[in-house]
Chains A and B, each alone.
Chain A
Amino acid sequence: MNTLKLEPDSKTPGIEFDADAGKLKLWGRSIPENAVEFYKPVFEWLDNYQNKALAETEMTFQLEYFNTSSSKIILDILRRLETLQQTGKSKVVVKWLYEEDDEDMMEAGDDYQTIVDLKFEIAAVN
Chain B
Amino acid sequence: MKDLLALFNNEKSDGIQFSGSGDILLFKGKVTQEVIQDIHHTIEPVFENGVADPRKRKKYFTVLTEVLQNIFHHHNNSGADEMRSEGILKTVFKSDKAIELDAGNFMLLENVDLLKERISRINDMDEESLKAFYLESLSTTTLSDKGGAGLGLIEIARKSGSKLNCTFTPVNEHYAFFTLSVIL
Are A75's CB and B69's CB within 8 A?
no
Q: Which residues of B contact A114 (CB under 8 A)?
A: 135
Are A104's CB and B159's CB within 8 A?
yes
Chain A interface, number of residues (Cβ within 8 angstroms): 26
| B111 interface hit (Cβ, 8 Å) | no
Return the contact of A67 from the options B69, B135, B138, B142 (Cβ within 8 A).
B69
Known contacts A10-B40, A33-B33, A111-B135; A69 and B143 CB within 8 A of each other: yes
Q: Which residues of B contact A102 (CB under 8 A)?
A: 58
Are B135's CB and A72's CB within 8 A?
no
C-alpha gap A34/B147 in the complex (Å): 5
Are A111's CB and B134's CB within 8 A?
yes
Restricting to A65-89, which residues have a CB under 8 Å from any CB of B? Answer: 65-69, 71-73, 75
| B37 interface hit (Cβ, 8 Å) | yes
Known contacts A65-B58, A65-B62; A34 and B151 CB within 8 A of each other: no
C-alpha gap A68/B141 in the complex (Å): 11
User: Considering the complex of A and B, which 6 residue pairs feature the smallest CB-CB distances, nearest first?
Assistant: A68-B151, A34-B147, A69-B147, A68-B149, A33-B33, A72-B149
26 A-B pairs with C-beta separation under 8 A: A10-B37, A10-B41, A11-B37, A33-B72, A33-B73, A33-B147, A34-B146, A34-B147, A35-B143, A36-B143, A65-B62, A65-B65, A67-B66, A67-B69, A68-B66, A68-B151, A68-B152, A69-B148, A71-B149, A71-B151, A72-B151, A75-B138, A101-B55, A111-B131, A111-B134, A115-B139
Residues of B within 8 A of A (CB): 33, 36-37, 40-41, 55, 58-59, 61-62, 65-66, 69, 72-73, 76, 131, 134-135, 138-139, 141-143, 145-149, 151-152, 155, 159
